[in-house]
Chain A
Amino acid sequence: MARSNEVNLNECKMVVPLNTWVLISNFKLAYNLLRRPDGTFNRHLAEFLDRKVPANANPVDGVFSFDVLIDRGTSLLCRIYRPATAEEPQPNVAELEKPVAAEVVPVIIFFHGGSFAHSSANSAIYDTLCRRLVGLCKAVVVSVNYRRAPENRYPCAYDDGWTALKWVNSRPWLQSQKDSKVHIYLAGDSSGGNIAHHVALRAIDSGIDVLGNILLNPMFGGQERTESEQRLDGKYFVTLRDRDWYWRAYLPEGEDRDHHACNPFGPNGRSLEGINFPKSLVVVAGFDLIQDWQLAYVDGLKKAGQEVKLLYMEQATIGFYLLPNNNHFHTVMDEISKFV
C-alpha cells in the first residue's frame, strides 16, 4: 500500500502547480489530524489551524466587505462583499447597506466548501474566492457561515442556507433598479454546492426566484462504489475513507449514503420533472474521485428537463479554483461570469 501511495504522490504533483500542491496537501494533512475514528471532530484544533481574515470596509482591489448577524438564535453570520463604486472609493460606514445602484445587480449567495465540517465564511481561501466573484460578475456576494457537522447534522446547513435566502430576498437595498426584485444566484463548492442544490429545492413553490445555481465540484455520493471512486481513491488528495467519514458526520445517525441529501437523484430523491428549478452550471474536475456522482447529478437534471451546463475540466483536481494559477481556473471563472 505504501509503495502505491508513494507513486500517487508523484502523480498528483505533476498535475498541479507547486504552491497549489503545498496548499492542498497541507489541508489534507491538517484534516487528517482533525477527523477522529470515532466520528468526533477536533473542533478547537480545526478553528486554531484555519486561517481566517477579518471583514474590511475599506475597499481592497475594488471590493469591500462587512459581516452581518442575520439570525441571533443560531448565531448565523454572513459576510457581504460589494464592489466599491467609482464616486465613493471609501464607503461611509453608514452606507454599507446603501441600495445597489445599477439596473441589474446579481446577488450571489455563496456556500463555502469543507465537506460540511471544515472552513468558515471568514476563512482566507473563501474570502479570496468571494472577492474574485464580485469583480468577475459585478455582483454582490453573500457568503453564509452555516453550521457545520458533526456538531450540527442534516438539515442544519440547509436550514441556514434557507434563512440566508429569505434574508437576502427581503433586503430592499439588494433589489435591482430594473424590477425592484433581488436577482439571486446560489453558488458553492464541495459541500457548498450540495447546499446550493438543496436550498434551491426548498425555494421551489416558495415564491422566491432563484435565477441560477453554480456548483463547483459539488459534494454528492451514494451507497454504491462507482468506477471513478475506485479508480481515483487516494490518488489526488482525497480518499473514499474520508468521504465516508464526512457523510457519516453530516447525515442523520443511522442513515446511509442513499439519503436524499447525499444522493438527490437516488432511490430516495425527489423527482424534478415539471418543477421550476433554476438553471445550473456544474463544474466537475477530472481528477475528483466523486465525479461519477456529479455526472449522475447532471444527468438527473437533464432527464428531468432542467437546464444544465456541464463544465468538465479533465486535468483538474479538487481545489483548483482556490488559486488563480491554472487554466482551469480562468476557464471556469469565464463561464461563471457568462452564466450570471
Chain B
Amino acid sequence: MVLYDSTALAGNSSGSSSSSSSKPPPPPLQPQQQQEIDGLLAGAGYKVRSSELRKVAQRLERLETAMVNSPADFSQLASDTIHYNPSDLASWVDSLLSEFAQPPTCPSEFVMDPVTNQTVVNDAWTTTEPNMPQVHQNISYEQQSLNNQLTVVTAMEEDSGIRLVHMLMTCAECIQRGDFPLATSFLEDMQGLLTRVNTVCGIGKVAGHFIDALGRRIFQGIGGGSINGGSAYENEILYHHFYEACPYLKFAHFTANQAILEAFDGHDCVHVVDFNLMHGLQWPALIQALALRPGGPPLLRLTGIGPPSPDGRDSLREIGLRLAELARSVNVRFAFRGVAASRLEDVKPWMLEVNPKESVAVNSIMQLHRLLGSEPNRNSPVETVLSWIRSLNPKIMTVVEQEANHNQPGFLDRFTEALHYYSTMFDSLEACTVQPDKALAEIYIQREITNVVSCEGSARVERHEPLARWRTRLSGAGFRPLHLGSNAYKQASMLLTLFSAEGYSVEENDGCLTLGWHSRPLIAASAWQALSDAPAEFPAPDTHRPS
C-alpha cells in the first residue's frame, strides 16, 4: 500500500470559513409505489401519474398566466434557470413555478472552462430550488424498458460491408452452437473478404478487429491469453491516447467534476476517492475549480486507486506528487494517498481512511462493470463494493459507464451488440486526425472488443450494462439519483463544439447525460447519493471550520 501525504508541500491557503450551508436532509424514504402513469404521455417521453394530471394542468395554467402578465420576468426565467429531468413533468413545472414566484437569489455559479481548464465565474443565477432529487419512484414503465433489452442500432452505410456482416454473424452463431470447424472456415473466408472491403469507415474498419477476436476465441480459448496481460503501463498509455483522440473520457471527467463541485459546495473538508487514477487526468480541472470557488478552496484529499507497478516504480505516488505540485501552485491544501490494488474488489474501505467529518465523493469512471460477476448471485463483488461505498456515506458518487449491453449471457446477442457499438465508436474516431492518438486509441478500443468477444468467466471484465440496468442496480443498493441539469448539459455540449466533428451529441436521459455519435449514445454519466436508513445527519455548524 502506498501512502503519500503532501500536506507539508502544499501551501496553506487562507481558507476563510464559510458557514456550513448543508442541504436539507433528504425526504424520508417513501414506500415504493407502483402508481399508474398516463400511458399516452409516457409514449411522448413524459412520466406523469394519471392522478396528477389535473394538478399539472393547473400549474401549467398558472405559469401561462404569469407569463402573460410579466413577460420580462419570464424571459429572465428562460435564460437563467437550470432545468432538471424534463421527463418528470410535474417536478419540472413545479420548479419553474417556484422559480417564478420568488425572485432568485444570486450566488454566482462557477463553471469549468473546458479549454483552459480554468474556472470561469459565471453570474448566472441558480434556481432557488436546491438540487434535490425527487424520491425515485419505482414505476412499471422502468421495469418494462429493462425487460425489452433495447438494442440501439445505426445501420452500416457501405453496401460492400453487408456480406461481411452476414459472415460475422454466421460465424458467431456457429460458435454459440459449438460448431468450431464451420466457424473456422467462415473465419478464413472473412479474412479473405476483408482485403476487398473498404476499411476506411463503417463496418469495414472495425470488422478486422472482430474477426481477430473471433479467431482468438476459436483458437486460444476463452481465458484471455495475452491480450489481458497488457501491463498497467501500456494500459495507461493507451488510455491517455484514447483520452486525447475523442471526447468520451473528457466528457466523463468534465461532467463528473461539475457534479462533484456542486456537491462540495459549502464543505471545507472534502475527500475524493478515484476508483481508477490512471494519469490523474481528471483532477487538475477540479483542483483549479476548487481554488477559484467563492469563499475559498476546501482542504482536498484525493485517494487514487490503481494497479500496483511491477517494476519498482511507484506510479501512483508520482501522479500524486504532480497533482500536489499543481495544488500548491493554486493554493489548495491537498493531500494524496495511493491505494494499489489489482482488482477493485480487493480494496477495503478502511484502506481509504475516510474521516467521518469530511465530505466524500466517490468517482467511478468505467470501473463498476468490472465488478459484475459471471453468475449473478447474492455476493457478487459489485454488491459488496456498493455496500461499502454506502457505508462511507458519500455526498456524491459519480458513475460513468459505457452505454451498451455487453453482458448478455448469449454469445450471439453480445456479439451483435458489440459489433454495432464499436463500429459506431470507431466511426466517431474519424473525427480525430491526430496521430499517434488515433492509432493508439484504436488499440485501446480493440482490447475492449477482444475482451467482450473472446473471453468468458473471470477473464471477461468488460461487462458493460446499459444505464437502465445501472439505475435499477444502484437504486436497489440504496442509492438515489442526483439529477444532472441543463447547465451541465449545456457545458458538455459546448465542450463538444471544440471538436471539429459534427456528429457527437449529448442527450438528457431522465436526469443523466449521455454522449454519443449521431443518434447512438455510447457513454452515460450519472450521479448518486447514498440513502441513509436513518434521517441524514445534520453536521453541527462548527464541524466545518477549517483546521
CB neighbours (8 Å) of A45 from chain B are 83, 486, 490
- Which residue in B489, B502, B519 is a CB contact (below 8 Å) of A55? B519
Is B279 an interface position by the 8 A CB rule? Answer: no
CB distance from B78 to the nearest CB of A (A): 4
A28–B46 alpha-carbon span in the complex (Å): 15
A322–B41 alpha-carbon span in the complex (Å): 10
Is A310 an interface position by the 8 A CB rule? Answer: no
Is B540 an interface position by the 8 A CB rule? Answer: no
CB neighbours (8 Å) of B169 from chain A are 92-94
- Closest Cβ neighbor of A93 among chain B residues: B416
- Closest Cβ neighbor of A126 among chain B residues: B44
- Which residue in A2, A26, A52, A54 is a CB contact (below 8 Å) of B150? A54
A124–B419 alpha-carbon span in the complex (Å): 26
Known: A5-B68, A96-B153. Is A51-B60 also a contact (CB below 8 A)?
no
CB neighbours (8 Å) of B86 from chain A are 30, 48-49, 51
A67 touches B154 (CB 8 A): yes
CB neighbours (8 Å) of B96 from chain A are 29
CB neighbours (8 Å) of A49 from chain B are 83, 86, 486, 508
Known: A22-B89, A23-B46, A32-B67. Is A55-B152 also a contact (CB below 8 A)?
yes
CB distance from A227 to the nearest CB of B (A): 24
A125–B505 alpha-carbon span in the complex (Å): 20
B45 touches A32 (CB 8 A): no
Is A6 an interface position by the 8 A CB rule? Answer: yes
Is A86 an interface position by the 8 A CB rule? Answer: no
CB distance from B82 to the nearest CB of A (A): 10
A77 touches B508 (CB 8 A): no
CB distance from A246 to the nearest CB of B (A): 17
A45–B148 alpha-carbon span in the complex (Å): 30
A284–B93 alpha-carbon span in the complex (Å): 31
A123–B44 alpha-carbon span in the complex (Å): 8
Binary A-proximity of B63-76 (CB < 8 A = 1, otherwise 0): 11101110000110
- Closest Cβ neighbor of A65 among chain B residues: B153
B507 touches A29 (CB 8 A): no
Is B521 an interface position by the 8 A CB rule? Answer: yes
A2–B69 alpha-carbon span in the complex (Å): 7
Is A295 an interface position by the 8 A CB rule? Answer: no
Is A304 an interface position by the 8 A CB rule? Answer: no
A182–B170 alpha-carbon span in the complex (Å): 30
A2 touches B75 (CB 8 A): no
CB neighbours (8 Å) of A22 from chain B are 41, 48, 53, 56-57, 60, 89
- Which residue in B57, B78, B493 is a CB contact (below 8 Å) of A32? B78
Interface size range of chain A in the complex: 35 or more
Chain-B contact segment, one of A13-21, A198-206, A210-218: A13-21
> Which residues 68-124 of B have a CB within 8 angstroms of A?
68-69, 74-75, 77-79, 83, 86-87, 89, 93, 96
CB neighbours (8 Å) of B281 from chain A are none
Known: A69-B157, A94-B169. Is A44-B60 also a contact (CB below 8 A)?
no
Is A53 an interface position by the 8 A CB rule? Answer: yes
> Which residues 143-177 of B have a CB within 8 angstroms of A?
148-155, 157, 162, 165-166, 168-169
- Closest Cβ neighbor of B154 among chain A residues: A67
CB neighbours (8 Å) of A56 from chain B are 148, 150-153
Is B314 an interface position by the 8 A CB rule? Answer: no
A48 touches B489 (CB 8 A): yes
Is B54 an interface position by the 8 A CB rule? Answer: yes
Is A42 an interface position by the 8 A CB rule? Answer: yes
A125–B519 alpha-carbon span in the complex (Å): 16
A18 touches B54 (CB 8 A): yes
B154 touches A125 (CB 8 A): no
CB distance from B225 to the nearest CB of A (A): 28
Binary A-proximity of B217-248 (CB < 8 A = 1, otherwise 0): 00000000000000000000000000000000
A97–B86 alpha-carbon span in the complex (Å): 35
CB distance from A119 to the nearest CB of B (A): 11
A26–B153 alpha-carbon span in the complex (Å): 30
Binary A-proximity of B491-506 (CB < 8 A = 1, otherwise 0): 0011000000011011
Is B518 an interface position by the 8 A CB rule? Answer: yes
Known: A25-B64, A66-B155, A77-B519. Is A44-B490 also a contact (CB below 8 A)?
yes
A68 touches B152 (CB 8 A): no
Is A305 an interface position by the 8 A CB rule? Answer: no
- Closest Cβ neighbor of B510 among chain A residues: A51
- Closest Cβ neighbor of A20 among chain B residues: B40
B486 touches A48 (CB 8 A): yes
B68 touches A1 (CB 8 A): yes
Binary B-proximity of A94-107 (CB < 8 A = 1, otherwise 0): 10110000000000
Is B43 an interface position by the 8 A CB rule? Answer: yes
CB neighbours (8 Å) of A6 from chain B are 65
The interface centre, meaning the residue of A69, A79, A80 with most chain B CB atoms within 10 A of its CB, is A69
- Closest Cβ neighbor of A172 among chain B residues: B159
Known: A6-B65, A22-B56, A93-B416. Is A125-B45 also a contact (CB below 8 A)?
yes
CB distance from A108 to the nearest CB of B (A): 18
CB distance from A47 to the nearest CB of B (A): 7
A9–B67 alpha-carbon span in the complex (Å): 13
B154 touches A69 (CB 8 A): yes
A308–B63 alpha-carbon span in the complex (Å): 41
CB neighbours (8 Å) of A26 from chain B are 46, 60, 89, 93
A323 touches B148 (CB 8 A): no
A97–B153 alpha-carbon span in the complex (Å): 12
CB neighbours (8 Å) of B89 from chain A are 22, 26
B44 touches A9 (CB 8 A): no
Known: A19-B41, A26-B46, A323-B44. Is A33-B78 also a contact (CB below 8 A)?
yes
CB neighbours (8 Å) of B44 from chain A are 23, 51, 124-125, 128, 322-323
- Chain A residues packing against B (C-beta within 8 Å): 1-2, 5-6, 9, 13, 18-19, 21-23, 25-26, 28-30, 32-34, 36-37, 42, 44-45, 47-49, 51-58, 60, 66-70, 75, 77, 79-80, 92-94, 96-97, 121-125, 128, 145, 322-325
- Chain B residues packing against A (C-beta within 8 Å): 38, 40-41, 43-46, 48, 53-54, 56-57, 60-61, 63-65, 67-69, 74-75, 77-79, 83, 86-87, 89, 93, 96, 148-155, 157, 162, 165-166, 168-169, 416, 419-420, 486, 489-490, 493-494, 502-503, 505-508, 518-521
Complex A-B: 7 CB contacts under 8 Å:
A26-B60, A55-B519, A67-B155, A77-B518, A92-B169, A121-B519, A123-B45
9 more contacts with CB within 8 A, not counting A55-B152, A56-B153, A323-B43, are: A2-B65, A30-B86, A51-B45, A67-B519, A70-B157, A75-B518, A93-B169, A125-B44, A125-B45
Which 8 A-B pairs give the minimum distances between C-beta atoms? A51-B45, A124-B45, A57-B153, A54-B152, A33-B78, A44-B490, A94-B165, A66-B153
